[in-house]
A and B are shown apart, each in its own frame.
Chain A
Amino acid sequence: NAGVTQTPKFQVLKTGQSMTLQCAQDMNHEYMSWYRQDPGMGLRLIHYSVGAGITDQGEVPNGYNVSRSTTEDFPLRLLSAAPSQTSVYFCASSYRTGGDTQYFGPGTRLTVL
């Protein structure tokens, strides 16, 4: 099992550009989510999905879109990048919702100039 994979590892964007951060898992997990990590703020939930075709907003969803067409993939789209979106992004998945262990990917470090 590869677990949770994310691409790219690093990305530099200019303000206003768009891009998609990829996330995939091979554990047949129903629940997937995206977090951003900023210094001194821990991790904050952006969007999550409880299964294919179902997504919902987290704590900081503005400026981001998601979709879940398959169980395996959960891409995060930045429609028009802003410097405030400079962060490290982590994708996570778990078999079920609730108190089940969530497994994290290695992260994507994004810089918006």
Chain B
Amino acid sequence: GNSVTQMEGPVTLSEEAFLTINCTYTATGYPSLFWYVQYPGEGLQLLLKATKADDKGSNKGFEATYRKETTSFHLEKGSVQVSDSAVYFCALNLGETSGSRLTFGEGTQLTVNP
């Protein structure tokens, strides 16, 4: 079946540190890949996405590259801020063949200390 595996959290960093959150996937097909962010008490917001191999999604200083050969979509940011503290979810979507459902990883809690 289809699945997403994220690095276990929680992750705690100091402000301006480099961030990597690993995400790998298993899919029977060619999925679109997403990173969603959930701030405390809120719903999920799209952070970035990539729809085909070698695409790079980027937003708010975050980046992730769709690597088909390693089935990965790792999230990176060069210098995190306190305001980046949130839960980050990696997800895939195989389109209409799977009911357009998003398959999520477990989420990674990030805390950034000043």
Contact = CB atoms under 8 A, between A and B. Distances in A.
A56 B107 CA distance: 26
Contact of B100 (A41, A50, A103, A105): A50
Contacts of B106: 40-42
Contact of A90 (B32, B43, B46, B93): B43
Given A99-B51, A104-B43, A45 B102 contact: yes
Given A40-B106, A90-B43, A98 B99 contact: no
Nearest to A33: B101
Given A48-B100, A56-B99, A106 B43 contact: yes
A43 B104 contact: yes
Contacts, number: 64
- Chain A interface extent, by class: 20 to 34
B25 interface: no
Contacts of B31: 99
A48 B100 CA distance: 9
B69 interface: no
B89 A94 contact: no
Contacts of B102: 35, 43, 45, 92, 102
- Name, among B42, B43, B45, B102, the residue most crowded by chain A CB atoms within 10 Å (CB to CB): B43
30 contacts: A33-B101, A42-B4, A42-B89, A42-B104, A43-B89, A43-B102, A43-B104, A44-B104, A45-B99, A45-B101, A48-B100, A50-B100, A56-B99, A90-B43, A94-B100, A97-B100, A99-B31, A99-B93, A99-B95, A101-B46, A101-B49, A102-B46, A102-B102, A103-B46, A104-B36, A104-B44, A104-B45, A105-B43, A106-B43, A107-B43
Given A44-B104, A98-B100, 20 more contacts: A31-B100, A42-B89, A45-B102, A48-B99, A48-B101, A59-B101, A92-B102, A97-B95, A98-B32, A98-B95, A99-B51, A99-B93, A99-B95, A101-B34, A101-B46, A101-B49, A102-B102, A103-B46, A104-B45, A106-B43
Interface of B: 4, 31-32, 34, 36, 42-46, 49, 51, 89, 93, 95-96, 99-102, 104-107
